[in-house]
Amino acid sequence: MTVIQSDVLDVARRQVLEGGEGLREEQVLAVLRLPEEALQDALALAHEVRLRWCGPEVEVEGIVSVKTGGCPEDCHFCSQSGRFETPVRAVRLDIGSLVEAARQTAQTGATEFCIVAAVRGPDERLMAQVSEGIEAIRAAVDINIACSLGILTAQQAQELEDMGVHRYNHNLETARSHFAKVVTTHSWEDRWATLQLVREHGMEVCCGAIVGMGETLAQRAELAAQLAALAPDEVPMNFLDPRPGTPLADLPVVEAPDALRAIAAFRLAMPRTVLRFAGGRELTFGDLGARDGVLGGINAIIVGNYLTTLGRDPQEDLDLLDELSMPVKALSETL
Amino acid sequence: MSTTAAHCDGCGTPLAGADHARCRARRAATDPPRYCAACGRKLVVQVLPAGWTARCVRCGEAGVAAR
Ligand code: SF4
Ligand SMILES: [Zn+2]
Ligand SMILES: [Zn+2]
């Protein structure tokens, strides 16, 4: 069925806002193709959808890398792959600094703290380090702990569940039809299988995307539909930061209007998910910061720095939420 | 902390004789230092939610910041 461009927002109002049913792939594509004059209407509708199905709260998260660089995989966007000549050197974080990072994150009012490692999947040493780290954080800081440690076995998923990991992040990154252009050392299906394990073991599923890796708009719509089919609890939206030395280093930064169309379209495809502003927003939006996004369907942010790059001052984001009368989600609401 | 800045801390090449405007822009926007300003080696950088540390394996500590 073809969707008439000008009608898609009217359809979305009934189907998504009133009915709670996300847009389908061809409808998402129509949103991604909206002319600039319709962009504000699309964002306003996505914002209404977010308020209607998720509420006004914003979920705040901090992330930290416990094992940086030297990854054997070849994700073409990633400065932590050991296969590319990038400026990132391998380093590991000690437990004391990990606990301090969790404490700093909690001080911003964040309810989620994600422990990330640049690996294909965790080995015994990393699992032991994560286990020790989680115990140490629990003893000192009141915060939900998430992990992002790559491809899991069923046993590892069980172990993480036993450690009390609240949510597990594993991104599909891009559309299935585009994946082999971006990663050759593992498949989209490998990633999908890990996401199923995460769900089977009762952890919340966090599965994100990077927009701007050379995919077509149709593939961007395909990705939204594939994410919607997964029905993740959270979708972190990243915009490509073309890192020096990576195969994608020369791609252009996603332009703000395209990024905003993607945000609105993803929200309209997934009315109930936690849609998080993640990496790349500083480059794509510059001084506009988070404002247009959180008024266009976003209901979660990463505060502070990322894994290898620096983010905005957390206070600027928190001041913005305050100004927009969007309360930061409390820990008691997440359990 | 290194005292002599002979190298660009964004790309590691000598400061003299090259334009490092892109390196400076990246440093100002999203990046901690990546190379030792004194010797040009890649730094060991740990980014934390509220800061970063950078160390050169030859020259020692190359910077700490609370951002
Ligand atoms: S698996 Fe993760 S850390 Fe490794 S190259 Fe891919 S994105 Fe980077
Ligand atoms: Zn330079
Ligand atoms: Zn040095």
Q: What is the mean pLDDT of chain B?
A: 91
pLDDT single digits (tens) B8-25: 999 999 999 899 999 999
CA B37 – CA B40 distance, rounded (Å) = 6
Contact A101 B46 (CB under 8 A): no
Q: What pLDDT tens digit does each residue of chain A (335 aa) get?
A: 456 666 999 999 999 999 999 999 999 999 999 999 999 999 999 999 999 999 999 999 999 999 999 999 999 999 999 999 999 999 999 999 999 999 999 999 999 999 999 999 999 999 999 999 999 999 999 999 999 999 999 999 999 999 999 999 999 999 999 999 999 999 999 999 999 999 999 999 999 999 999 999 999 999 999 999 999 999 999 999 999 999 999 999 999 999 999 999 999 999 999 999 999 998 898 877 689 999 999 999 999 999 999 998 999 999 999 999 999 999 877 65
Confidence at residue B2, expressed as pLDDT on a 0 to 100 scale: 44
Kindly list the residues from chain A whose CB atom is less than 8 angstroms away from the CB atom of residue B49: 62-64, 101, 104-105, 303-305
Domain ranges of chain B: 1-67
**Binding site membership of A105 for ligand 1 (Cβ less than 6 Å):** no
Kindly list the residues from chain B whose CB atom is less than 8 angstroms away from the CB atom of residue A101: 48-50
User: Nearest-CA distance from A5 to chain B in Å?
Assistant: 37
Higher-confidence residue of B64 and A43: namely: A43
- A196 is written with which tokens? 């199923």
Q: Which of A80, A116, A126, A152 to mutate to test the pocket of ligand 1 (most atoms within 8 A of CB)?
A: A80
CA A290 – CA A230 distance, rounded (Å) = 26
Please state, in angstroms and as integers, the Cα–Cα distance from residue B47 to each residue in A2, A192, A212, B16, following that order: 47, 29, 24, 28
pLDDT mean over B17-39: 94
> A24-333: what CATH class?
alpha beta
**Binding site membership of A71 for ligand 1 (Cβ less than 6 Å):** yes
Strand A112-117 relative to strand A91-92: parallel, antiparallel, unpaired? unpaired
Q: Which residues of A touch chain B, with CB atoms under 8 Å apart?
A: 62-65, 68, 87-91, 93, 97, 100-101, 104-105, 241, 244, 282-283, 303-311, 313-314
Q: Are A99 and A140 in contact (CB under 8 A)?
A: yes
Contact A310 B67 (CB under 8 A): yes
What is the separation of C-alpha A224 from the centre of its chain, rounded to a whole number of angstroms? 13
Banded model confidence at residue B34, pLDDT cuts 50, 70, 90: very high
Residue closest by Cα to atom 2 of ligand 1: A118
Confidence at residue B1, expressed as pLDDT on a 0 to 100 scale: 47
Domain ranges of chain A: 24-333
Strand A112-117 relative to strand A167-169: parallel, antiparallel, unpaired? unpaired
CA A69 – CA A71 distance, rounded (Å) = 6
Nearest residue in chain B measured CA to CA from A91: B44
Confidence at residue A3, expressed as pLDDT on a 0 to 100 scale: 61
CA A290 – CA B5 distance, rounded (Å) = 35
Contact A104 B35 (CB under 8 A): no
Q: Which of A78, A92, A114, A308 to mutate to test the pocket of ligand 1 (most atoms within 8 A of CB)?
A: A78
Task: Please give the distance, rounded to the nearest whole angstrom, from the Cα atom of residue A74 to the centre of ligand 1.
Answer: 7
Q: Are A143 and A331 in contact (CB under 8 A)?
A: yes
What is the rounded end-to-end Cα distance, in angstroms, of chain B?
18
Task: Please give the distance, rounded to the nearest whole angstrom, from the Cα atom of residue A90 to the centre of ligand 3.
Answer: 16
Confidence at residue B63, expressed as pLDDT on a 0 to 100 scale: 84
Task: Please give the distance, rounded to the nearest whole angstrom, from the Cα atom of residue B61 to the centre of ligand 2.
Answer: 20
User: Nearest-CA distance from B15 to chain A in Å?
Assistant: 17
